[in-house]
Each structure stands twice: as C-alpha cells, then as structure tokens.
C-alpha cells in the first residue's frame, strides 16, 4: 500500500514493457478495457515519441475518438501537432483535448483558454470538425471522473462524462458496398457470397453489380447464422444469394447497381511508411484493400509531409514513420472509394513480397484521369505468331551477378552462338542501356530500382516481338528480379546467376571500377558500399571462378536448345 506521501503512478497501468518503465515513456500500443453504466470502452494508449509514430498510427487506425493530452506548462508541442495530423489522416473526426497538469499552473483559466483556442485552429486546419476541450489534473482526478471544485470557471463535464455522452458512432459510407470474402458453396444446391457490409444497406430484390466488372443481378436471399433477413446494413456479416449465376470471387465488391463504386488502377494517396527499409519508388509490393490483394508500385512521391509542422518537402524516398503524398499504380483495376467516404474501400496496406511484412498503410484520395483513359488495344499478330515466323519460341535470358563476374562476356558468347544457328536475338547490356533510355538515372537505390524496371519493360516488348532477348545487368535486388520475371508468361524467363567471389571480381576488375570504388571515387557500388542480394533459386547457376567463359556459354546454349525443345526449328 502506498504511504501517505506516495502518489500512484497511473502510467504503470498501460506501460507494461520493461523498457517503458525504465525509460518512463510509452513505446508500444497498450489496449485496456472498461465500462460504465452507460457505455463500454476500449482504450488504446499510444506512444508520443516520433520514432514510434507507426505504433501511434496502429492504435489510431480503428479509433472513433482521440483523447489528446497537452501539458498546460508547455502548450502545443510538435508531438501534439504530429498526433493530431495522424488522427486527421486516419479519419478520426472527433478529438477531446485534455489540458493536463493544471495544478502546476495554479489552475489558471487564461492558460487553459489560450491552449484550447490554439488547438481548435490546428484541428480545423487538419479537417477535424469536433473538438471538446477540458482542463484536468490527472494524478488528483480533477475533471477526470468528476467535476473539480478547483476550477469553478470551467462549466463543462468531466472527461468521463464527455466520453459517455459524445456521439462516437463509427463512420458509415452511404452507398451499399460489400467486399466478397468467401464464396460459400457447401453443396450443389447453394451458392452465396459472404462478407461484411462496409457501406449502406441492401434488401432482397435490390439490383447489384459485381465490381470491378459490370455483371448485374438481384438479391434473392440474405443469409445469416441466425436466419434469413429482408434487409442488412453496414457492419453486418452476411451471405448474399443472387437470382442468377454470375462470376464472383474473393476480392470482388458487390455494390449498388444504381450508384456503383468507381473502378481504377492508378491513384493518388497518403502513405505512412512503416518499414525499417526505405520505400523505393517503382518497387513492386502487394497492396491489400478490403479482401483484394494486387501487385502495386509507388510510381512517384509528390512530396513528403513534415508531421510536426505539416510542411510539404521534396522527397525521392520515404523512411520509417514518414508520410508522403504519392501516386500508386496497380496491376489490376479495383473497385474503391476515397478514404474520406469509405474507410474499408479507401484504406489499404502495402506488404513486402519477400518478407510478407506490412510496410505501409495508405489512404486513397482519387483516381488518376489517365487510369480511365488508357485501354489495351487488341492486335491480331501476337508474340506466338511473330516467334513462329522466326522459327523460334520467344524467351528472356536474364544474366545477374556482380560487376566482373562475367555476365556480359557469357551473354555475348551465347548470342553469337544462337545467331550462328539462325536465331533472332538481341542483347541488352546494362552499361549500353545507360547510354540511352536510362541516361538520366544514377546509382542510388531509387535509381537502381527504376533502371531494372525500364530494362525489364524493354525486354518484355522484345519478347513480344518474337525475339530471344539476353539481358546482362547486375540487378542487385531480389524484389526487382522477381518483378521482371512476373512480366513474362510461364517458361519465357530464365534467371542466370553468373557467380564469382567478390575477391575474384576485384582481381579481374575489367573496367577499373572496384579500384575507384575502394578509393572512394565511386559511391553506391555493388559489392562495396551497396548490397547484392544473391538469387536463392536461379534457373541456371554459372560459377565462373576457374572456368572458361567459352565453356560455360556453350553449356548454357546446349541447355537452352535441350530444355526449350530446340527453341524452334531452323532450316
């Protein structure tokens, strides 16, 4: 039991980690549950320090109300602005401002009112419409559980009274939307589409559309575990049965046919970066929105936001806890809503495709106009026809490895051999490409990602033209090599790892680059001060130390001819 002079440390209720108690700060989100006679509560205690912004965003992501604490002695600090900005970004529409430690400013009314006025201006600028302010002295409970006699000038309710009375109903979108989570087909006599309604309501007989397509049907039954319903509303988990068979799968959105959701594959959005490694534009990630997962890449960062001051700053990448306003492109079109209209169809996460870690959360703003204006044009002559006319099957050979490993030498020898046999080929060498379409790119991680993306797209076009294209480029990152592979159909891409120890590559050093890199004349040189991620399961692994390039090239050519059925027939 505490003594007469002891004061309870209420932070221990939520700061359960040893590091939190040792440092006297909140590090991770702690959830606590309580209820009164009028309402039940889930409190997410979030950290305030900048390095834990992602933890704060995690706690705020599902909140309906934010309580922002301000020290009456210090007023609005950068972290107050940061927290309020994140709250506004994540769609929290109501904030309770608790001006704490009023006992340390002698319960001064003027101090409280000045802080409250400043905060209301800040909240309004960030799109937060409702702000409820009150003065408190937390350790002694003044204006926390009951009204305090020490501040008779304050006429409002206590913190608990505010929390009990504020209308904090979850935000609901107006139009009917339901992402399909599961196709429910227990036997041949029943087919339904299960999911949780994330907007509006639906009734039996209503006409719906299955998006991103245009198939229409009517609702025949609304099935739940407790029996059929005539009408279902947002927040309910239901199974919808349609009056006719249409193609519906997980990730599709069933929407009101009269007011369908927009469909697009390019957007602007706010992005809060959660990954320890930086966001690199044009790297491919998985984007999960609703129940749909698609490939996505951040095409550009328009600016990043200083979350302490809300200033807009130029940026080429985003680091941990940074917020950027970006353009995002997807492999497939999706049904969506702006985050301000529908949190389920407007909020998304990005997932690293190699580690499966969640690296960002995002809020869609609007679709880019070009998304709706650009369409695939049908052509009658495709790559199979073009390849057949050349007597070969189109293919991409992707040579990767350190500088000096022998990529270009072997690729050149393979092309010579194929050309001699009458095949139609083209060699894309990394250095040569940098004299042309990639002339504007340097060797930063961001530029390396874009360099590989462009080369892969060019190689894809050449394969579409019916050619056998050989790509010789360091391509140091697994993620980009994987993205390159995914551009091609099954059997059209072969990753060739040209492997040599770094010491051997340095000894060869055909262009003198290692020597210059060791001398500090070249920065971001792969193998020295920039990483090379070796292929884990290459299609071909060529170890060049102690072996002649001509022998390896001949072995690779013979393998190509054998595994690809001769690739084609040459007269």
End-of-domain residue from the set 126, 141, 165: 165
Query: How many whole angstroms separate alpha carbon 100 and alpha carbon 434?
Result: 59
H or E element, residue 304? strand 292-305
| Total domains in the fold of the chain | 4
Distance, CA of 260 to CA of 257 (rounded, Å): 5
500 part of a folded domain: yes
How does the average pLDDT of the chain come out, rounded? 88
* pTM, 2 dp: 0.82
Measured from the Cβ of residue 197, the count of other Cβ atoms closer than 10 Å reads 24
Q: Which of 61, 148, 158, 475 is catalytic?
A: 475
| Residue 37 DSSP symbol | S
Domain that holds residue 181: 177-256
Q: Which of 234, 256, 278 is the last residue of a domain?
A: 256
Residues 6+ apart with CB under 8 A from 120: 131, 133
CA distance 73 to 103: 10
Supply the CATH number for residue 212's domain. 2.40.30.10
Nearest to 81 by CA among 388, 355, 347, 309: 309
Span 215-231, average pLDDT: 95
Contact 342, 173 (CB under 8 A): yes
* pLDDT, tens only, 551-565: 999 999 998 888 756
Asked whether residue 269 falls in the same domain as residue 248, the answer is no
Q: Say whether both 335 and 449 belong to one domain.
A: no
Answer whether 462's CB lies under 8 Å from 333's CB. Answer: no
Gap between the Cα atoms of 34 and 145, Å rounded: 13
Q: Which of 141, 165, 189 is the last residue of a domain?
A: 165
Inside any domain, residue 570: no
118 belongs to a structural domain: yes
**How high is the pLDDT of residue 564?**
59
Asked if 343 and 408 sit in the same domain, the reply is no
Residues 23 and 122 in one domain: yes
C-alpha distances (whole Å) from 351 to each of 156, 373, 440 are 45, 28, 29
Considering the domain architecture, whether residues 210 and 247 belong to the same structural domain is answered as yes
Mark whether 142 and 267 lie in a shared domain: no
Orientation of helix 78-89 relative to helix 109-125, angle to 10°: 40
Q: Does the active-site annotation cover 569?
A: no
Within-domain flag for 172: no
d(CA 325, CA 89): 11
Q: What would the 3-class secondary structure string for 226-262 be? A: CEEECEEECCCEEEEEECCCCCCCCCCEEEECCCCCC
Shared domain check, 347 and 432:
no
477-496 residue pLDDT tens: 999 999 999 999 999 999 99
pLDDT tens track for 371-397: 666 677 788 888 888 888 888 899 999
In this structure, is residue 397 part of a structural domain?
yes
DSSP 131-151: EEEEE-BGGGTBTTTB--TT-
Task: Mark whether 414 and 299 lie in a shared domain.
Answer: no
Chain segment 145-190, per-residue pLDDT in tens: 889 999 999 999 999 999 888 887 666 668 999 999 999 998 888 9
469 closest CA partner among 344, 552, 383: 383
Answer whether residue 571 is part of any domain.
no
| Residue 128 CA to its chain's centroid (Å) | 25
Give the model confidence (pLDDT) of 391-415 as tens digits.
889 999 999 999 999 999 999 999 9
Residue 222 in any domain: the answer is yes
Do 270 and 198 share a structural domain?
Answer: no
Report d(CA 63, CA 44) in Å as an integer.
8
Instruction: Tell me: do 183 and 142 sit in the same domain.
Output: no
- Cis amide leading into 117 (omega within 30): no
Question: Does residue 1 form part of some domain?
Answer: no
Question: How is residue 122 written in tokens?
Answer: 């800040």
Same domain, yes or no: 77 and 28: yes
Domain shared by 308 and 335, yes or no = yes
**CB-based contacts of 491: which residues, under 8 Å, 6+ apart?**
none
């Amino acid at each position: 039991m505490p003594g007469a002079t002891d004061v309870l440390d209420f932070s221990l209720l939520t700061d359960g980690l040893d590091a939190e108690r040792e440092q006297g700060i909140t590090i991770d989100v702690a959830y606590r549950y309580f209820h009164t006679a009028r309402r039940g509560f889930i409190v997410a205690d979030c950290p305030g320090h900048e390095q834990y912004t992602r933890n704060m965003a995690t706690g705020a992501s599902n909140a309906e109300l934010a309580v922002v604490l301000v020290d009456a002695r210090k007023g609005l600090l950068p972290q107050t602005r940061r927290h309020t900005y994140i709250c506004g970004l994540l769609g929290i529409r109501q904030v309770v401002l608790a001006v704490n430690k009023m006992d340390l400013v002698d319960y001064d009314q003027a101090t409280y009112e000045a802080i409250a006025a400043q905060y209301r201006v800040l909240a309004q600028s960030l799109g937060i419409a409702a702000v409820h302010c009150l003065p408190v002295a937390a350790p002694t409970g003044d204006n926390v559980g009951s009204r305090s006699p020490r501040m008779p000038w304050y006429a409002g309710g206590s913190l608990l009274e505010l929390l009990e009375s504020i209308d904090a109903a979850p935000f609901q979108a107006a139009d009917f939307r339901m992402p399909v989570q599961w196709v429910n087909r227990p036997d041949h006599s029943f087919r339904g589409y299960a999911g949780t309604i994330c907007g509006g309501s639906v009734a039996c007989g209503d006409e719906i559309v299955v998006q991103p397509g245009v198939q229409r049907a009517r609702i025949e039954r609304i099935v739940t575990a407790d029996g059929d319903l005539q009408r279902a509303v947002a927040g309910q988990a239901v199974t919808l049965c349609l009056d006719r068979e249409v193609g519906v799968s997980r990730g599709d959105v069933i929407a009101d046919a009269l007011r369908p959701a927009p469909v697009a594959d390019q957007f602007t959005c706010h992005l809060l970066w959660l990954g320890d490694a930086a966001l690199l534009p044009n790297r491919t990630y998985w984007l999960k929105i609703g129940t749909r997962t698609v490939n996505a890449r951040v095409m550009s960062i328009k600016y990043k936001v200083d979350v302490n001051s809300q200033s807009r700053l130029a940026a080429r990448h985003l680091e941990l806890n940074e917020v950027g306003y970006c353009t995002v492109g997807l492999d497939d079109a999706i049904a969506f809503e702006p985050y301000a209209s529908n949190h389920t169809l407007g909020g998304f996460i990005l997932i690293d495709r190699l580690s499966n870690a969640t690296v960002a959360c995002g809020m869609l703003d609007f679709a880019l106009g070009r998304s709706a204006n650009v369409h695939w044009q049908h052509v009658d002559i495709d790559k199979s026809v073009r390849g057949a006319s050349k007597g070969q099957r189109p293919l991409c050979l992707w040579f990767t490895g350190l500088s000096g490993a022998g990529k270009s030498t072997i690729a050149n020898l393979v092309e010579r051999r194929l050309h001699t046999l009458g095949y139609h080929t083209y060699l894309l060498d990394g250095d040569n490409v940098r004299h042309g379409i990639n002339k504007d790119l340097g060797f930063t991680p961001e530029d390396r990602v874009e360099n590989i993306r462009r080369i892969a797209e060019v190689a894809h076009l050449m394969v579409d033209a019916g050619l056998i294209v050989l790509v010789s480029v360091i391509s140091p990152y697994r993620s980009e090599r994987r993205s390159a592979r995914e551009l091609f159909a099954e059997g059209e891409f072969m990753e060739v790892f040209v492997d040599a120890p770094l010491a051997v590559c340095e000894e060869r050093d055909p262009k003198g680059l290692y020597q210059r890199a060791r001398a500090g004349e070249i920065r971001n040189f792969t193998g020295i001060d920039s990483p090379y991620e070796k292929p884990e399961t290459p299609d071909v692994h060529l170890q060049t130390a102690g072996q002649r390039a001509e022998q390896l090239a001949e072995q690779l050519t013979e393998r190509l001819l054998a595994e690809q059925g001769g690739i084609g027939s040459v007269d």
